[in-house]
Amino acid sequence: MPGQKASEAARRMQIMKAAYELASRKGLDSLTVRLVARRAKLSPGLVLFHFGTKDQLIIALLDYVIETTSVLHVTEDITSIPVPLDRLLALLRREMNRLASEPRRIRLFFDFWVKGFTHALIRTKMQSELDRYREAFRPIAHEVLRAEPERFSGVTPEGLSAVAVSFIKGCAVQSMIDPENFDIEEYLAATNSLLGQLNAQTA
């Protein structure tokens, strides 16, 4: 019945949010079915009913984290910017702000990355999503290069996309290391100055 299915979906989300709260605060290694059940105010049996095993729960949590962390949404306020380079910079700033504002989520994302070294399915999912995130920048990177070929001489859409993602992930790492003192405007200003110096040395 539709009502019963909606209830099951809500219950799964209840469990997922409990698992996220625990893992993002204490790490994946501290996650147990019993602790998730206690956090969700459910029985361990009900958690296993919905997810089967602890490993399957962790994989479902990874999917949840990926969906809410590494998916790039290019909204109308970005696409409406007429100059391609300004459009890319606005997208970078928004993504940096978004990820920097969620240090616990980013910490968990990298916790999954580390776990992927010993877990084949997690490694495959993480690599696939990181590739997809970088690939999502290619259309706008291509527009930037077409609009300003002299500024980006010798640069490919793949290369510009990789640099864009590097800036965003680097910003996320810094916000995770020192969330209380991290200043995104200072980060951007320092990046700007550093790139200017690098450009002057290679000119």
- 34 with 115, same domain: the answer is no
Q: Classify 81 in phi/psi space as left (phi over 0), alpha (psi -120 to 50) or beta.
A: beta
Band the pLDDT of 3: cuts 50, 70, 90.
very low
Query: Residues, the chain, total?
Result: 203
Among 24, 39, 66, where does a domain finish? Answer: 66
> How far apart are alpha carbons 151 and 119 in whole angstroms?
42
142-164 in b/e burial notation, b at 16+ Cβ within 10 A?
Answer: bbbbeeeeeebeeeebeebbeeb
Among 10, 40, 66, where does a domain finish? Answer: 66
Q: What is the mean pLDDT of residues 6-29?
A: 91
- 103 with 49, same domain: the answer is no
- 122 with 168, same domain: the answer is yes
Parent domain of 62: 2-66
Q: What is the mean pLDDT of residues 117-127?
A: 95
- 55 with 93, same domain: the answer is no
- 91 with 131, same domain: the answer is yes
- 43 with 90, same domain: the answer is no
Total tally of structural domains belonging to the chain: 2
pTM of the predicted structure, to 2 decimals: 0.78
Please give the residue that has the higher pLDDT: either 168 or 52.
52
3 state DSSP class of 106: helix
- 45 with 135, same domain: the answer is no
* Confidence at residue 1, expressed as pLDDT on a 0 to 100 scale: 42
69 has a pLDDT exceeding 80 = no
- 111 with 152, same domain: the answer is yes
Among 33, 49, 66, where does a domain finish? Answer: 66
Tell me how far CA of residue 19 lies from CA of 48, 107, 154, in angstroms: 13, 14, 46
Band the pLDDT of 175: cuts 50, 70, 90.
confident
Residue 178 corresponds to which tokens in the numbers above? 């020192």
- 21 with 100, same domain: the answer is no
CATH at 37: 1.10.357.10
- 58 with 96, same domain: the answer is no
Q: Which residues contact 48 (CB under 8 A, 6 or more apart)?
A: 33
The residue written with tokens 């049996």 in the block is 45
- 87 with 56, same domain: the answer is no
- 134 with 179, same domain: the answer is yes
